[in-house]
Amino acid sequence: MAEALRIGIAGLGTVGASAMRVLAGKAAELTRQCGRDLVVTAVSARDRSRDRGIELGAAEWFDDPVDMARTADIDVFVELIGGDEGPAHACVKAALEAGRHVVTANKALLAKHGVALAEIAESKGVLLNYEAAVAGGIPIIKTMREAMAGNTVSRVFGILNGTCNYILTRMEAEGLSFDECLKDAQRLGYAEADPTFDIEGHDTAHKLAILTSLAFGCRISADDIYMEGISNISQADIQAAGELGYRIKLLGVAQQTESGIEQRVHPTMVPTASVIAQVHGVTNAVAVETDILGELLLSGPGAGGNATASAVVGDIADIAKSRPGFQHGPVFGRPARELNPYRKARMRSHEGGYFIRLTVHDRVGVFAAVAKRMADNEISLESIVQRAPKSMNGTKKTVILVTHATTEAAVRKAVEGVTKDGHLVDKPQVIRIERAD
């Protein structure tokens, strides 16, 4: 049997502690699968005295994760600290430069420094594995990086944040407000005390940027993602979507166009009969459209200690199965130095159209004025519906429009025109419709 794989784990929070439990509890089975023992020989965390419910055994404690990254007593450095700078970046870079394999669950780090870190890993002949950074326990990275060789990807999209999907699911199923669902998500541990990173789309954007690089062979460009969160989704939107045959999901979408690559994160209406619409609660799902395979959809637990730890341990096991002298594949599917520059696509018509909800004063001429603003911006309407809220005694109405294919700029300009006309009572709502199959 080969020598034991010596593992150093930096960060012993929920994921780190779960990974330690899996490695200990499944030790015999992992040894059989990998042909060698997987042994945690070093750990690092902020508080040495904290009771984490795990046995550290004979693992050496390091107060500084960078020191642990550089020690010759580990073969694999596992980074579970989090953050795109500070200790996380410093220790991952140090580990790679020291010729250590690295496993990380840090999507923010990869979204910002992934290409540079990949260049170091490839120059040193070591692995940089990051399955746990995108969609938790779903093996989407391994699938795209290894199992889809020869396929040309045209689009990748999905539900990449369990917190947002949980909130939208509860809003629809129970008729609750966004704020009520968010408080429940925080109570259950699905959302942080400060939920901004999740609900405003940042978490999804980081994950999408990584998938975009894998899908299209380009450098990561998280700053070029159009981003909109779910905090302005109301019960009126949820109900209107249902009546029209749609369900609202926060999607991350990346697709190749003639002018470049389009990346966007925003609430989206998808047909209720589509597969992506059936993904509920904290579950994640990723769809990849290709020329050979067609459309592939992977769904499963997207967050939580066990799901993420499963992906971390899977990455460690892959390293354990590799042998000295083996030429490892590129971190992002092609050599980091050969990744194409990211080229942002020009604005074009959105094929699915848009849902527009306007709450307007109930007076003569408003309906005609709204229709005129749409026509002035060359927006073709698929449907238009007026309804008066029962509690408002005829003082305002809701106008719901569904457009045919048009541009974001045209829609925003038309809505701005209606606003300038003085017809709106509340803030308008605009949501893309995705013709998901």
Write out the binding residues for L-homoserine: 192
Cβ atoms of 234 and 283 within 8 Å: the answer is no
**The Cα angle at residue 334 between residues 295 and 208, in degrees rounded to 5:** 50
Neighbouring-strand partners of residue 431: 355
Scanning 282-407, the segments in alpha helix (DSSP H) are 305-321, 366-376
DSSP collapsed to 3 states, 375-399 = HHCCCCEEEEEEECCHHHCCCEEEE
CA-based max dimension of the chain? 84
Cβ atoms of 36 and 4 within 8 Å: the answer is yes
Given 93, 207, 249, 397, which residue is catalytic?
Answer: 207
Q: Which two tokens stand for residue 76?
A: 């694999």
CA 56 – CA 23 distance, rounded (Å)? 12
CA 97 – CA 18 distance, rounded (Å)? 28
Q: Would residue 207 show up in a list of annotated catalytic residues for this protein?
A: yes
C-alpha dihedral, 142 to 148 to 154 to 159, nearest 10°: -30
Kindly report each contact of residues 321-325 with a partner whose C-beta sits within 8 Å and lies 24 or more positions away, as own/partner.
321/33, 321/34, 321/35, 322/127, 323/2
Binding residues: 10-17, 107, 192
Cβ atoms of 191 and 182 within 8 Å: the answer is yes
CA 373 – CA 387 distance, rounded (Å)? 19
CA 403 – CA 395 distance, rounded (Å)? 26
CA 9 – CA 103 distance, rounded (Å)? 9
Binding residues for NADP(+): 10-17
Q: Fill in the amino acid letter for 374.
A: M
Binding residues for NADPH: 107
C-alpha dihedral, 247 to 249 to 251 to 256, nearest 10°: 0
Neighbouring-strand partners of residue 298: 286
**Sign of the CA dihedral 410, 208, 337, 86?**
positive
CA 339 – CA 342 distance, rounded (Å)? 9
Neighbouring-strand partners of residue 402: 355, 383
Active site residues: 207
